[in-house]
Amino acid sequence: MIQKGDFVKISYTARLEDGTIIDSTDEKTAIEAGLTDKLRYGDIIVAVGDRHVIEGLDDALVGKEIGFKGEIVVEPEKAFGAYDPDKKETVTIRHFKERPQVGQRVQIGDKWGTVERVIGRRVVVDFNHPYAGKKIIFDLEIKEKIDDPLEKVKALFLLYTTKEVNAEIKDGRVIVEVPRGSSFDQYFLIGKFSAIDAIFRHLEDVNEVELVERYPRIKPEAEEKKEEAEEAEEQKSQEEAKDTKEEQDTKEENPE
């Protein structure tokens, strides 16, 4: 039975009551629904209770068995919140570089909203989440429980930074190799601290987390092609030698 703090691998498709699919871990389902802005597709590993998925789904995992397949209905309060009519604001059109369209998602200051109406030079923006006040229905499958500490480390970095990392655990130290280019990636720079904090919370035997950046020498293209050609030639020679030996062995076994 799944408990809070367990790591489990899940897959799901989320839809509204009218059948509209709003999220899916399955690539084909997501693309067919027009959800092409996902960073990645496939099963996800979550730490139960850490809110890596919406609250209602996270809570529903507790008490389930590995292998569960079924429907989970999440009420608005534990999904994207109740609808609040007071979250509508009227702003002047000068907040926008181009004339906004009804239904367009816009950012005003540090808030995101949806354009509800355009009246002359005034724009009514609804700052409720697009799915506020709606039930979310999940078709959920719980595939396996993750017990390996190293897999937990990798899962936490993927959840918090969106990056797949190479890592190892030695004598209470977690050593994570920083993916190339991540030093300038905002998600990684911010998310790594949350990942490290989660590692300490979930892995009691870990006393230190070390992030390592590796920069191997990049060989000139001409040199790299030369090495590839030499490797191909060597492989060809080995195959020819093998064929010659097999031919000789055959002659020895079957003399004329």
18-62 pLDDT tens trace:
999 999 999 999 999 999 877 789 999 999 999 999 999 999 999
CB 13 within 8 A of CB 145: no
- How far apart CA 172 and CA 232 sit, in angstroms, is 43
pLDDT digits (tens, 9 = 90+) for 155-213: 999 999 999 999 999 999 999 999 988 888 888 999 999 999 999 999 999 999 999 98
Closest CA to 37 of 83, 105, 100: 105
At 45, list the tokens.
């590993």
Count of the separate structural domains present in the chain: 2
**Residue 230: predicted pLDDT:** 75
**Residue 133: predicted pLDDT:** 97
**Residue 250: predicted pLDDT:** 60
| In a shared domain, residues 2 and 31 | yes
Does a structural domain hold residue 173? no
**Residue 244: predicted pLDDT:** 65
Q: How many CB atoms lie within 10 A of CB 250?
A: 9
Instruction: State the chain's mean pLDDT as an integer.
Output: 91
Does a structural domain hold residue 169? no
**Residue 254: predicted pLDDT:** 60
**Residue 16: predicted pLDDT:** 98
Determine the average pLDDT of the residues in 144-163: 96
Does a structural domain hold residue 181? no
- Residue 49: left if φ>0, alpha if ψ -120 to 50, beta else—which one? left
- How far apart CA 141 and CA 124 sit, in angstroms, is 40
Among the residue ranges 138-142, 160-164, 208-212, 245-249, the one predicted with the least confidence is 245-249
**Residue 116: predicted pLDDT:** 96
pLDDT digits (tens, 9 = 90+) for 81-93: 999 999 999 999 9
Whether 220 has a pLDDT exceeding 90, the answer reads: no
| In a shared domain, residues 18 and 55 | yes
Rg (CA), the chain: 27
**Residue 253: predicted pLDDT:** 59
| In a shared domain, residues 113 and 23 | no
**Residue 100 belongs to domain spanning:** 85-126
| In a shared domain, residues 143 and 66 | yes
| In a shared domain, residues 75 and 53 | yes
Does a structural domain hold residue 197? no
At 224, list the tokens.
């790299």
| In a shared domain, residues 107 and 1 | no
Look up the pTM and report it.
0.77
Does a structural domain hold residue 90? yes
| In a shared domain, residues 89 and 17 | no
**pLDDT more than 70, % of the chain:** 91
| In a shared domain, residues 64 and 142 | yes
| In a shared domain, residues 3 and 114 | no
Q: Which residues contact 63 (CB under 8 A, 6 or more apart)?
A: 1, 2
**Residue 236: predicted pLDDT:** 74
Q: Which residues contact 185 (CB under 8 A, 6 or more apart)?
A: 161, 163
- How far apart CA 123 and CA 107 sit, in angstroms, is 13
| In a shared domain, residues 58 and 103 | no
| In a shared domain, residues 109 and 22 | no
CATH of the domain at 119: 2.40.10
Whether 222 has a pLDDT exceeding 60, the answer reads: yes
CB 141 within 8 A of CB 81: no
3-state secondary structure of 254: coil
CA distances from 252 to 5, 210, 239, 245, 256 (A): 67, 60, 20, 11, 9
Phi–psi pair at 33, nearest 5 degrees: -90, 0
Does a structural domain hold residue 103? yes
